[in-house]
Amino acid sequence: MRRPHVAIDLYTGAGLRLEDARRVAVDAEQAGYEGLWTLEAHTEPFLPLALAAEHTTRLRLGTAVAVALVRNPMVVAHMAHELNRYAGGRLVLGLGSQVGAHVVKRFGEPFDHPADRMREYVAALRAIWACWNENAPLDFRGRFYRHTLMTPAFDPGPSGHGPPRIHLAAVGPRMCEVAARTADGLIAHPLSSPRILREVIGPRISSTAAADFELSCPVMVITGDDESSLDAARRAVRRQIAFYASTPAYRDVLGHYGRDDLAARLRAMSRAGEWDAMADLIDDDLLAEFSVEAPSEALPAEIHRRYDGVLDRVMVYRPYAT
């Protein structure tokens, strides 16, 4: 059951640099956003949230997402535990498996059984946090991860706020099932229209997710103060949609609209490095389906119109300079 009125958060889609973190967080809180989310892209997602926690009191702070499978669960457990303690319990740990090519070629780590690994990863985190917060013995023995030693010298003790909530990024049916059964929420991919959320993602989680399970999504927005800025925003969003739609993992999204041919063409152009030309293939119908356009003062009302009852949280995503 989705909440009747969606929460509106700010999403830093290119990453958030340390020198900008305080200003962005303070501005977001003063502007009335309910949360701030950092992506692992140009920058890593955890350090900026430490500064955001220091200079805000109300914002929910989350990673959307941090790449899980290239980090050991103990490392992530420590970072998230300390951030949650420092933020007064406001942290949401958003994790994703990333696609295989990036895990193997960019991070230099193995990539196999991603859904099974993510299922076990969440269980490992919960076992570690139970050790620190509840003094439970640490005896986690899984197929991929094993954590059986915790001495007083390395035990940070209780956070005072319990463990962070865990949200998993998911697209396919298996990862959606893992998120619904093991996590506290699911972060949908930005290439998720209201139709995709209702007809594809929703049914994949509805039968197994807990009552307080949250569905969130970065939503690309087109806004500006004049026609010139709106045109620039439209171009940037077309480019971003084309980039996402060229990824094989998201091909089924366009297939849901009967546009498999476009997905194949974008894939071929991405391999040729034709990034600018790809944007020209995103027509007005697709642009309207996968983004929200409104003048800045009317944007919140338009987000509510499109996503109330569909999502619990919208992460406002502007893939262009503002």
First to last CA, the chain: 34
pLDDT tens by residue, the chain, 322 residues? 678 899 999 999 888 999 999 999 999 999 999 999 999 999 999 999 999 999 999 999 999 999 999 999 999 999 999 999 999 999 999 999 998 999 999 999 999 999 999 999 999 999 999 999 999 999 999 999 999 999 999 999 999 999 999 999 999 999 999 999 999 999 999 999 999 999 999 999 999 999 999 999 999 999 998 899 999 999 999 999 999 999 888 888 999 999 999 999 999 999 999 998 999 999 999 999 999 999 989 999 999 999 999 999 999 999 998 7
Residue 42, class by beta-carbon neighbours within 10 Å (0-12 exposed, 13-18 middle, 19+ buried)? exposed
Backbone angles phi, psi at 36, to 5 degrees: -135, 130
Determine whether domain 7-224+293-317 maps to CATH 3.20.20.30.
yes
Note whether 144 and 120 are within 8 A (CB).
yes
Residue 69, class by beta-carbon neighbours within 10 Å (0-12 exposed, 13-18 middle, 19+ buried)? buried
Sign of torsion, CA 160 35 41 49?
A: negative
Q: Which residues lie below 8 Å from residue 16, measured CB to CB, with a gap of 6+?
A: 24, 38, 43, 45, 48
At 249 the pLDDT is 83
CA-derived radius of gyration, the chain: 20
Which token pair is 211?
Answer: 């009552």
At 1 the pLDDT is 60
Which token pair is 139?
Answer: 């005896």
Which token pair is 44?
Answer: 């890593």
At 315 the pLDDT is 98
Give the separation between CA 49 and CA 62, rounded to whole angstroms. Answer: 8
At 319 the pLDDT is 94
